[in-house]
A and B are shown apart, each in its own frame.
Chain A
Amino acid sequence: MKHVISALVQNKPGVLAHVAGMFAARAFNIDSLVVGRTDDPDLSRMTIVVIGDNRVVEQVRKQLAKIVSVVKVQDFVGQDIVARALMLITINTPAEKRPEVLALIDMFDSKVVDIGQKFVMVEICGPDSKIEAFIDACKPYGIKSVARSGTIAMARNKRN
């Protein structure tokens, strides 16, 4: 079971090493970990996708919170969230397949960012499931390379 956890951390050297080291030392299984700055120059946000049951995720949350340079931890379980990841993917496209591939790219609401005689590079953004589906759809043509960003997420604000 995948869980999305978001942590606000102090923007200091060593914090990423500390968090990554804790995951390794406690044998937690992570699917992805993304760090980026926030609007506050002193804080960064880490979005971590963890694989495990509720007990494991509960421990992850507590162990993260225990790290002194981790300011706040949120587990999005049971919340309405927006989760997005970005992927760049280069697909083989011999001339005869190009229309098919372009149609596929269109269907997935993704974008061609580079193109050559025998390939296209595509930028696609969305929830993990969409990205996985796109990869599956591209497989028959042959995938040259893939770079994925990992998931970032935020809870939807409550209306009213």
Chain B
Amino acid sequence: MSSLNCDDCGACAGCGGFVPVENEELKQGSQIIVDVLLEQGVDTVFGYLGGVVLPLFDKIYDSPLNFIIPRHEQGGCHMADAYARATGKTGVMIATSGPGATNLVTGIATAMMDSVPLVAITGQVRTELIGNDAFQEVDITGVTRPITKHNVIVKDVKHLASALREAFYIASTGRPGPVLVDIPVDVAVATTKWTPPTEVKLPGYRVRTKGHKKQIEMAADAINNSKKPVFYVGGGVVISGASEQLRKVAQKANVAVTTTLMALGTYDQSRPESLDMLGMHGAAYANFAVQECDLLVAIGSRFEDRVTGNLKTFCPNAKIIHIDIDPASISKNVSVDIPVVGDAKYILSQMLDLVEFRERKEWFNYIAKLKKNYPLCYNKSDKYIKPQEVIEELYKQTKGEAIICTGVGQHQMWAAQFYKYSKPRHFISSGGLGTMGFGLPSAVGAQVACPGATVIDIDGDSSFNMTLTELSTAVMYDLPVKVIVLNNGYMGMVRQWQELFYNKRYSQSSLKNPNFAKVAASMGATGISLSEPSKLSEAIEKLLKEAGPCVLEVKIEPEENVWPMVAAGKSLHEMDGLDIFESMA
């Protein structure tokens, strides 16, 4: 076995003494990482360099992996996350120790809150230095413990392959989530015998996919006996791939369907029984229907406060069925009458045989009336471009086929309200954590995942400012992502709250923005600026025609608000902003 002295490498990975070169029998830890990635079906990896991951990057150099380097590890983590959201596959992000690893924190927490399968691999200082405050040492398993589904530091190369396999297994099964594997550099350069994969055995990890038969029967009975049922669908249905089963059950049983932000697209919004999105900025008809229903069937949703409004008065007259793969989600926020623990796809297909058609004429007449009386709408203006009309025009021109990514704020809500989704995995947004800056990197990740698709980041000016550096990444890899910056010159959502609850005292809620079109141009993308209402459709046409990455900045009405709105502490039916319907009548 030949050896290379540490001083010879020059990069100072701090890998410690000798770097043995592997032979056929023995593999180096770094090679094991690459080989397990390939064995797990990974073809695309996001990551950023640093001292302690140099041995790994040296192996990546010879591998067939498609590698994307972001401009910032947070961006890379959002890319891997969106890659997973767009495909259902597990996203992979690599970062170096210390600052590389801490830059992942927001990305990991974002993935955790939205149950996204993600494996984060971080380099760590040499095992013998751990605990000594070594250069670029951070206890990243300690830091990320509450924001990962699982994490582990591998201190012996013999356990490396199994730790990585377990990471993929845990990340992608049950209620998915991020798993972080921290690998000290001496482990990455140590050698061991390669062990082929065996079935993953984890004594403390069980996934229940098949719901209890009795519970499924009870749930189906309750649906059959209900006069006013509503399905309240969450991101779990996207993850489970259960849209088709959902459609069949809802149509066979004749039930109205509302979705959360995370589940947009799981149910075709052009259907009459679709109630669109519910919640704080949901459709008024969805919120009214939920408050009126006699049976609420939660499927892969978790009764989050932005969805339910005041819990004490939520859904006051309804029996509640909760279908979820995570037992801990059930009866966490509301007490449930019929819990069904299992995978939505499995349970819905079991239910399909048990539910029966009911006409529910009165209930559907009521829903039709609600939809007619309280549509999502806005006041037009001839002075300003309205953000809602931008989204409507985009919807028209893309025929509803685009993958839409968003930042966080008003623009996110308008993108949810005014674009209509008919397929899952076409609306990619940070729902649980509400991470500003998610928009552009997630669009890059989605475009990597779906090279042929039209991927559009609908962003806010402040959100875009946070991560716009990733435009360079799009340019570098020829990713034709499109960005629409709805520029109101404010942190609009925050300004809206200041307007409503702080007497219009707009404390620190506006930024001096750069010229976004010029920023785009300087990075090698195309930039377009628009403020003239009559040129809207032309500008969007130009944006969509552009072959490469392109940013369209639209100056919109600065103080437009998102309506309707259920203020904090209010009941779901106590919405503000409904007066618009009176003004339109």
Contact = CB atoms under 8 A, between A and B. Distances in A.
B326 A66 contact: yes
A58 B152 CA distance: 27
Contact of A22 (B146, B153, B335): B146
Contact of A68 (B205, B332, B335): B205
A63 B326 CA distance: 10
Q: Is the interface of A mostly helix, strand, loop or mixed?
A: helix
Interface in A25-72: 25, 55, 58-59, 62-63, 65-72
B150 interface: yes
Interface stretch (A13-21, A100-108, A138-146): A13-21
A14 B204 contact: no
Contacts of B205: 68
A91 interface: no
A10 interface: yes
A68 B146 contact: no
B452 interface: no
A89 interface: no
B203 A10 contact: yes
Interface residues of B, number: 19
Contacts of A152: none
A62 B332 CA distance: 10
A55 B331 contact: yes
B9 interface: no
A21 to B, nearest CB: 5
A17 B150 contact: no
A21 B145 contact: yes
B145 A71 contact: no
B170 interface: yes
Interface string B60-75: 0000000000000000
A17 B142 contact: yes
B109 to A, nearest CB: 12
Contact of B145 (A17, A55, A59, A65): A17
Given A58-B331, A59-B328, A63-B328, A69 B145 contact: no
B295 to A, nearest CB: 22
A160 to B, nearest CB: 30
A87 interface: no
B327 A62 contact: yes
Interface string B312-344: 000000000000001110011001000000000
Contacts of A25: 146
A9 interface: yes
Contacts of A13: 153
Given A9-B204, A58-B331, A68 B149 contact: yes
B584 interface: no
Nearest to A70: B204
Nearest to B204: A71
A25 B146 CA distance: 8
Nearest to B328: A62
Contacts of B465: none
Contact of B204 (A10, A21, A62): A10
Interface size class, chain A: 20 to 34
Contacts of B141: 14
Nearest to A9: B204
A51 B71 CA distance: 47
Contacts of B327: 62, 65-66
B274 to A, nearest CB: 32
Contacts of B152: 14
A38 to B, nearest CB: 13
A94 B149 CA distance: 57
B1 interface: no
Interface string B329-369: 00110010000000000000000000000000000000000
Most-contacted residue by chain A among B145, B170, B331 (CB, 10 A) = B145
Given A58-B331, A59-B328, A66-B326, A18 B145 contact: yes
A124 to B, nearest CB: 35
A20 B230 CA distance: 39
Nearest to B330: A62
A63 B149 CA distance: 12
B585 interface: no
A154 B142 CA distance: 31
A71 B205 CA distance: 7
A14 B326 contact: no
B331 A68 contact: no
A78 B333 CA distance: 24
Given A9-B204, A55-B331, A58-B331, A68 B145 contact: no
Nearest to A66: B328
A66 B112 CA distance: 14
Nearest to A64: B328
A54 to B, nearest CB: 10
Contact of A67 (B142, B204, B326, B331): B204
Nearest to A13: B153
Interface string B130-170: 00000000000110011001101100000000000000001
Given A9-B204, A55-B331, A59-B328, A14 B149 contact: no
Report the 4 A-B pairs with minimum CB-CB distance, sorted nearest first: A62-B328, A71-B204, A68-B150, A71-B203
9 contacts: A14-B145, A17-B142, A25-B146, A55-B331, A59-B332, A67-B204, A69-B204, A71-B204, A72-B204
Interface of B: 141-142, 145-146, 149-150, 152-153, 170, 202-205, 326-328, 331-332, 335
